[in-house]
Amino acid sequence: MSTGTRETQKLTKALPPQMWNRHLVAIAVLTLILIPAPFVLPAAQQAVAVRVLIFALMSIGWNVMSGFGGMFSFGHAAYFGLGAYTSAWLLVNHDVSPWIGMLAGMVVAAAFAVLVGFLSLRYRLKGAYFALATFAFAEMLRLWATNSDFVNRAVGYHAPLRPDASWWYLQFDPGSANYFFAALALTVAALACSVFFLRSRAGQFTLAIRDDQDAASALGIPVMRYKLFAMALSAAITSVAGAFYVQYYLFIDPELAFGSGVSIQAILPAVIGGVGTIWGPVIGACVLGPLSDVTATILRNPPAALSFLQGRAGLDVIVYGVLLIVIVLLLPRGIYPALRKRWSRK
């Protein structure tokens, strides 16, 4: 349906079976390397690491629909927010464990994605129109949440503090390494999920539909069903990031959940790392996650030339913006494909 990601497709197209295993082995090795990270990193860096993982999780979800499915979403805040709000609502009002809230959020987000997807596909929205429709649905949720007593209006939710740390309620002492382990487990699960999706029939059909919808349809692939499946999976993964966000920051409001900035945060890591590749969102998140801390450090003790900027906000997002423009212009496929190309040439 979209030509946007066609260039990046060669990577995922028709990989031999051992390549899939190589991805899974890489995930396992990376996990093993990262497990001791909290014992090495200082507390402040741990917070950065968790943020990187949340970014990665959101973007892995976005990548399933927009990278593998070729349907450019500008409204993943809807799914992030639904995950966050569903788990927060269940936790605050009914004292339900965030793990169950997370599952419920996945179901709600996937259902909403199927609704949005069905309407958009039924009315044949493409390209810019499709992106604008996804954006509109996310904004509608934001406006509804801001003005509905059902979800505390603009105030949002504070996760109630518990007397003791508990895995069941996913709450630990501030700075506990367990937050990192939980985020790592979720991100690894999402990555593995995207590998398994790609090697499954559904994933191969999704790629076929993205590359040439008419040909896929002519071969008897039910286009609508697999597109909706990709959207639902994508929404479910991104919603997990939302549910975890609430537990980690203990707070959510309509702007943090459904704001257009959230949709942008889901897009950026994948675009910078490489749209439609398994590792793109992870690499992009590793680049973007620490950026705000780097700029904050610079602004706390600015060099003489920048001294007038001391204590001001905004520099981190300026760097995001410039990075986004530069990457799109110079490495339109993203960092990961560019690196791969260099390696394979040697």
Partner 1 sequence: MSPTSGQPSRASSGASPDDDVAAHDHEVISRGTTRRRYVQRGVIVLILIVAALALAYMRSGSAVVVTQAVVTGILTGGVYGLVAMGLTLIFGVLDIVNFAHGAFLALALFVTFWLVNTVGIHPYVALAITIPVMFGIGFMVQRGVLARAIGKPLENQLLITLGISLVIENTLLLFFGGDPRSVALHGDHALHVFGAVADLSRVLAFAGALLLAGVLYLLLQRTRLGTAIRAVATNDMGAQLVGIDTRLIYALTFAIGTACAGAAGTLVAPLVTIEPTSGDMFNIIAFVVVVLGGMGNVIGALVGGLIIGVTEQLSGLYLPGQSPLLLVFIVFVLVLFLRPQGLFGRTS
Interaction of residue 119 with partner 1, rule CB under 8 A? yes
CB 38 within 8 A of CB 46: yes
Query: Which residues, 6+ apart, have CB-to-CB distance to 99 below 8 Å?
Result: 168, 170
Contact flag: residue 307 with partner 1 (CB under 8 A): no
Q: Which of 123, 166, 167, 307 is in the footprint of partner 1 by CB under 8 A?
A: 123
CB of 321 to partner 1, least distance (A): 3
**CB closer to partner 1, 165 vs 318:** 318
Q: How far apart are CA 239 and CA 98, in angstroms?
A: 12
Of the two residues 154 and 219, which places its CB atom closer to partner 1 in the complex? 154
- Work out how close the CB of 165 gets to partner 1 at its nearest, in angstroms, rounded to a whole number: 36
The yes or no reply on residue 312 touching partner 1 (CB under 8 A) is yes
Among 41, 189, 192, 317, binds partner 1 (CB under 8 A): 317
What amino acid is encoded at 210 in this protein? Answer: R
* CA-only gyration radius of the chain, Å: 20
At CA 192, angle to CA 244 and CA 271, rounded to 5? 75
| Smaller CB separation from partner 1, 146 or 176 | 146
* Angle at 32 (CA atoms; ends 189, 25), nearest 5 degrees: 65
Residues contacting residue 276 through CB under 8 Å, at least 6 positions apart? 5, 8, 9, 11, 12, 63, 67, 68, 70
Does position 125 interact with partner 1 (CB under 8 A)? The reply is: yes
> From residue 117, how far is each of 112, 201, 226, 343 by CA, in Å?
8, 20, 11, 38
| Cα 300 to Cα 51, 310, 333, distances in angstroms | 20, 6, 34
Min dist. Cβ of residue 118 to partner 1 (A) = 11
Q: Which stretch binds partner 1 (CB under 8 A): 90-98, 140-148, 189-197, 224-232?
A: 140-148
* Structure token digits, residue 271: 């675009």
- Using CB under 8 A as the binding rule, whether residue 2 contacts partner 1 is answered as yes
Query: Smallest gap, in angstroms, from Cβ of residue 268 to partner 1?
Result: 9
Structure tokens at 96: 């339900």
Smallest distance, Å, CB 323 to partner 1? Answer: 8
Site string for partner 1, 259-278 (x = CB under 8 A): -x---x--x---x-------
Q: Is 167 in the site for partner 1 (CB under 8 A)?
A: no
Q: Does 178 sit near partner 1 (CB under 8 A)?
A: no
Query: Which of 49, 60, 133, 198 is close enough to bind partner 1 by CB under 8 A?
Result: 133
The structure tokens 């704001």 sit at 259
Contact 281, 269 (CB under 8 A): yes
Q: Which of 29, 140, 165, 294 binds partner 1 (CB under 8 A)?
A: 140
Cα 2 to Cα 11, 68, 102, distances in angstroms: 17, 11, 32
Name the minimum Å distance from CB 341 to partner 1: 18
Asked if residue 332 binds partner 1 (CB under 8 A), the reply is yes
| Contacts of 88 by beta carbon, 8 Å cutoff, 6+ apart | 101, 156, 157, 159, 246, 252
Q: Is 127 a residue that touches partner 1 (CB under 8 A)?
A: yes
Terminal C-alpha separation, the chain: 34
Binding segment for partner 1 (CB under 8 A), chosen from 27-35, 36-44, 78-86, 313-321, is: 313-321
Q: In angstroms, rounded to a whole number, what is the distance separating the alpha carbons of residues 219 and 225?
A: 14
Neighbours of 339 (CB within 10 A): 15
Q: Which of 131, 237, 243, 335 binds partner 1 (CB under 8 A)?
A: 131
CB of 326 to partner 1, least distance (A): 8
Q: Which residues form the interface with partner 1 (CB under 8 A)?
A: 2-6, 72, 74, 119-120, 122-123, 125, 127-129, 131-133, 136-137, 139-140, 143-144, 146-147, 260, 264, 267, 271, 309, 312-315, 317-318, 320-325, 328-329, 332
